[in-house]
Amino acid sequence: MQKPILYIVIPCYNEEQVLPITAPMFLDTLKSMISDEQISDESRIMFVNDGSKDKTWSTIQNLASDNPYFAGISLSRNRGHQNALLGGLMEAKEHADITISIDCDGQDDIHVMKEMVKQYHDGCEIVYGVRSKRDTDTFFKRFTARSYYKLLKSMGVDVVYDHADYRLVSSRVLREFSNFKEVNLFLRGMFPLVGFKSTSVYYERHERLAGKSHYPFSKSMALAFDGITSLSIKPIRIITGLGTIVSFLSFFMIIYIVIGYFLGNTTPGWASTLSAIGFFSGVQLISLGVIGEYVGKIYMETKARPRYIISEKTSNLPKSQEDKD
Ligand code: UDP
Ligand code: MG
């Protein structure tokens, strides 16, 4: 059996505190998979520096010069987790047969990588890492996450429950995936669209080993919103439905008013007028907002700007086709 080349792709943004702790852990796992003959000796741990402002890139460069199993690329500026991960995966597909994407903070259990690779050997091209429980989350986070997955499902978006961005993807899938040109990225919702045989493996998620989260509530909300509007046009349909219902209701209201007029009690009516105005303006504003969100998305997509720009690579990374040209 041919041993596949594995690239572990790890986006890093301002992670100088946690990298020195987790890098050796990744290395141990990689080496043990190599010695188990699961993967080729040409496998690498590839960090993607997402325009960090601290010493993250120099840490990565030092790791790469000390140990040939470490490599890295650096983006020209901070582009956010999803873009950084995409940049890493697109680079890795040039050198590897399989990739595993994982965060650099040690939250995801690296020991299930072996199980992921085993599933690849059994014929799966995508293996989703799924959290088996959410004990370490607050009640609020658990509740919002659950409701969000339900909402996504009801909008027709096919996502794997409790899976984030810890997954194995073969380079064949990545080559197909490179034809998805959109700039609004929600990778966990996009990979199921590619198809091919897939499965899930389960693990427990831990606390961050050091440093702090880059996903405050506002950023998580933005990603959640992108997830829906990038993959579903149902919200626009809901608005059409809402508009129909509201028109229907106002039709009855007009009848009520006309009857009132003939019965002679058209007195003031101030409150009902105002409440109707308030209600309708509310509905209109929400509708405009949702439509505006999609118009904004179209605007961003038509510009088709590059999703990431690689400014540097560590020298131990094999030359890709583009570099040779
Ligand atoms: N990250 C990134 N660019 C960013 C923000 C985060 O590459 O702009 C990386 C970060 O270094 C980490 C991963 O994305 O490896 C997940 O981020 P974090 O752990 O802060 O998020 P959380 O686990 O709290 O959702
Ligand atoms: Mg984290």
Q: Pull the structure tokens for residue 246.
A: 């509201």
Q: pLDDT of 58-73, one tens digit each?
A: 999 999 999 999 999 9
The verdict on residue 245 lying in a domain is no
CA of 8 to the centre of ligand 1 (A): 16
The model's pLDDT over 313-323, given as tens digits with 9 standing for 90+, comes to: 888 887 766 66
pLDDT digits (tens, 9 = 90+) for 251-265: 777 787 778 777 776
265 forms beta bridges with none
Most confident of 43-47, 144-148, 272-276, 280-284: 43-47
Q: pLDDT at position 267, please?
A: 64
pLDDT confidence of residue 158? 83
Tell me how far the alpha carbon of residue 134 lies from the centroid of ligand 2, in angstroms: 14
Q: What's the gap between Cα 308 and its chain centre?
A: 15
CB of 203 closer than 8 Å to CB of 179: no
- The tally of domains found in the chain comes to 1
Task: Over range 187-195, report the average pLDDT.
Answer: 90
User: Tell me, what CATH number does 155's domain have?
Assistant: 3.90.550.10
Residues, Cβ < 5 Å to ion ligand 2: 103, 105, 107
266 in a domain, yes or no?
Answer: no
Residue of 81, 136, 219 with the most ligand 1 atoms within 8 Å of its CB, for mutation: 81
pLDDT at 266: 64
Q: What's the mean pLDDT in 5-16? A: 96
CA-nearest residue for atom 1, ligand 1, is 81
Q: Note whether residue 78 is domain-resident.
A: yes
Give the binding-site residues of ligand 1, using a 6 Å CB cut-off: 11-13, 15, 50, 78, 80-81, 84, 103-105, 107, 213-215
pTM over the 0.75 mark: yes
The pick from 8, 12, 13, 56 for probing ligand 1's pocket by mutation, whose C-beta has the most ligand atoms within 8 angstroms, reads: 13
Average confidence (pLDDT) over 114-133: 93
Range of the domain at 180: 6-231+305-324
17 Cα–ligand 1 center, Å: 13
What's the confidence (pLDDT) of residue 202? 92
pLDDT > 70 in the chain, percent: 95
In this prediction, residue 140 has a pLDDT band, given cuts at 50, 70 and 90, of: confident
Nearest CA to ligand 1 atom 12: 103
The answer to whether position 270 is within a domain reads no
Query: pLDDT tens digits for 223-281?
Result: 888 888 888 878 877 877 887 788 778 777 778 777 877 777 666 666 677 667 777 77
Residue 149 belongs to a domain: yes
The answer to the question of residue 267 being in a domain is no
- For ligand 1, pick from 103, 206, 310 the residue to mutate: most ligand atoms within 8 Å of CB: 103
Nearest partner of 193 among 169, 159, 166, judged by Cα: 159
Q: Which residue has the tokens 């658990």?
A: 142
Query: Is residue 310 situated within a structural domain?
Result: yes
pLDDT at 20: 94
Average pLDDT, the chain: 87
Residue nearest to atom 25 of ligand 1 (CA): 215
Does some domain include residue 146? yes
Ligand nearest to the CA of 215: 1
**Are the beta carbons of 70 and 60 closer than 8 angstroms?**
yes
With a cut of 90, say whether residue 78 has pLDDT above it: yes
- Which atom of ligand 1 lies nearest, measured to the CA of 85? 7
Which of 21, 45, 49, 105 has the most ligand 1 atoms within 8 A of CB, as the residue to mutate?
105
What's the pLDDT at 321?
60
Ligand approaching nearest to the C-alpha of 208: 2
Ligand 1 atom closest to the CA of 214, numbered from 1: 20
Res 322: pLDDT: 61
